[in-house]
Amino acid sequence: MGLHIVILSVLMWYCALKWLKYYRVPQNFPPGPPSVPFLGVLPFMKDNFRDALQTWRREYGEVVGLQLGSELTVLLSDFDEISMAFKDKRFTGRPKALTETMTAFFASHPGEKNGGIVFSHGDQWTEQRRFALKTLRDFGFSKKNMEDVIMDEVYKMIDILKDTEDSVSLNQALSIGVVNSLWTILTGQKLNHGDKTVMEIITGTDNFIHQESMSGPLMILPWLRFLPGIREKFLASKAAPLSMRRLQNEMVAKHEQDSNTNNNEPSRKESSDFIDVYLDKIKDTRDRKSSFFGDQGRLNLQRSLTDIFGAGTSSGSSMLLFAFLYVIKYPKIQTRVQNEINRTIGKRKVTLDDRTQMHYTDAVLHEVMRHSCLVYAVPHATTEDVMVQGYDLPKDTVVYANVWHVMHNSDYWREPAVFHPERFLDRDGKFRKDERCIPFMLGKRFCIGQSLALQQLFLFFVTVLQQFDLETPAGPEKVSIEPIVGFVHQCPKYNVIMNKRTH
């Protein structure tokens, strides 16, 4: 018994010394809530993560210092401060705990290094992001030809939905349409609408991202994935990304085979998609330090495909689900959008050029993005010692942008809890942007899929409301627009009756 007490005492002292050495709050750090070793503020959180952030802001101000798990963390809630910080290269890092969890989730084998765009940093991140932005822009994210790809998926979805007589869930139909749009530009191929593997990938990845019981704690305490019970769930959740990796490997192998001549020299045919261009970049790279060189380049190709595909499909389908949810909740808004469709488009095919003439519809979509606030907090990390509003932030401090507060700040937005599209219209009824509506964030790490997401949102939304009147079986008063709060917001599940419009 005495020996056990001695061992326990030694362990406690060891843990205490480690805490004081590595996790002690430095001098001149922002004020914030109390914390305990290794868990930080987690034992004191009474609300979900989003609401806890708002509570800390009210109690401690626009700059809050706290211990989130074992990481020093700062919460920024002021728009101007967030804008200044996130445009600064010194704030472009990623939290170590979050990176560890996501790397383990998407890795195909233990020990695989991090790569790609979303969770890399430094020179590798700069190089990969610059390449991805240019390549995606060249292949349609900002070009008119992407319109045909999206509209093809819209009409496929409508063909499926128009034969339904009962109320249906839009989740699967929207996910497939959004997935195919993005998959085409990345691989040059289309996925079959009835493909079981694809739906398992979509469902599995969404479950991991959205389930608060799994993703929330794991994003902050990555070591939880080794504990009995959680370990089994975590390993099971990896089935979706591993299936996606296999699909990607098949696509990459096919592209390599097609791009090589009989003498194994690269063909000089014009590249037709993201994989083609990336493989050409790997072949042309001779600098061993480059993130495009050899095996490192191939890993970054895999991770970039996963990053773009995962981020684009989840946010795109979620935004559409929220958009249709709001017009079901508010039938008068749906009618006003349809009246604008009748005046501007009539029965012809919707085009992206129509958006400049559809001011109310554009206002509705921006109010959907503001009100739903899919990503309510965005985590970065400092890459060196910095100062914020007179406070010292050491290197590797996690910095959260409180996006929810920015887009629901009652000092700026009038009645922010009310869904009010007119806030995005000027006195003449023309659409006007607002710099504080930041669903894709801002600064050096803004979402690279922003352009495609906006295109999909407009074309899917307008075409569906051109073809159908949407209503809910229980009536609009029974519709809840309250998001499910996990590490991000998830649209509540709902069914819809789709009545074919006769105009």
Tens digit of pLDDT at every position of the chain (503 positions):
555 565 555 555 555 555 554 456 789 999 999 999 888 999 888 888 999 999 999 999 999 999 999 899 999 999 999 999 999 999 999 999 988 888 888 777 777 777 888 888 888 899 999 999 888 877 665 556 778 888 988 998 888 887 776 788 888 788 878 888 888 878 877 776 656 666 666 666 666 555 544 556 788 889 988 999 888 888 887 877 788 788 888 888 888 887 765 345 544 445 578 898 999 999 999 999 999 999 899 989 988 888 887 777 777 888 999 999 999 999 999 999 999 999 999 999 999 999 999 999 999 999 999 999 999 999 999 999 999 999 999 999 999 999 999 999 999 999 999 999 999 999 999 999 999 999 999 999 988 888 888 989 999 999 999 999 999 988 899 999 999 888 889 899 899 999 888 76
**Does any domain span residue 15?**
no
pLDDT at 457: 94
Contact 324, 170 (CB under 8 A): yes
**Does any domain span residue 12?**
no
**Does any domain span residue 343?**
yes
| Dist. CA 100–CA 221, nearest whole Å | 10
**Does any domain span residue 9?**
no
| Dist. CA 8–CA 23, nearest whole Å | 21
Residue 425 DSSP SS3: strand
Tokens of 314: 């989840």
Residue 40 DSSP SS3: strand
Domain that holds residue 369: 38-500
Q: Which residues contact 358 (CB under 8 A, 6 or more apart)?
A: 340, 341, 344, 462
| Dist. CA 478–CA 167, nearest whole Å | 15
The number of distinct structural domains making up the chain is 1
Q: Which residues contact 224 (CB under 8 A, 6 or more apart)?
A: 217, 218, 230
Q: Quickly list H helices, 260-293.
A: 274-284
Q: What residues does 496 pair with on adjacent strands?
A: 168
**Does any domain span residue 19?**
no
| Dist. CA 207–CA 199, nearest whole Å | 12
Between CA 473 and CA 479, with CA 475 as vertex, the angle to 5 degrees is 100
**Does any domain span residue 6?**
no
| For helices 239-259 and 294-329, angle between their N-to-C axes, nearest 10 degrees | 120
Residue 140's CATH number:
1.10.630.10
Task: Tell whether pTM > 0.75.
Answer: yes
Tokens of 328: 């079901």
| Dist. CA 180–CA 142, nearest whole Å | 17
Question: Binding site annotation covers 447?
Answer: yes
| Dist. CA 108–CA 243, nearest whole Å | 10
pLDDT at 65: 97
pLDDT at 15: 53
| Dist. CA 104–CA 107, nearest whole Å | 5
Biggest CA pair distance of the chain: 85
**Does any domain span residue 24?**
no
pLDDT at 257: 84
**Does any domain span residue 483?**
yes
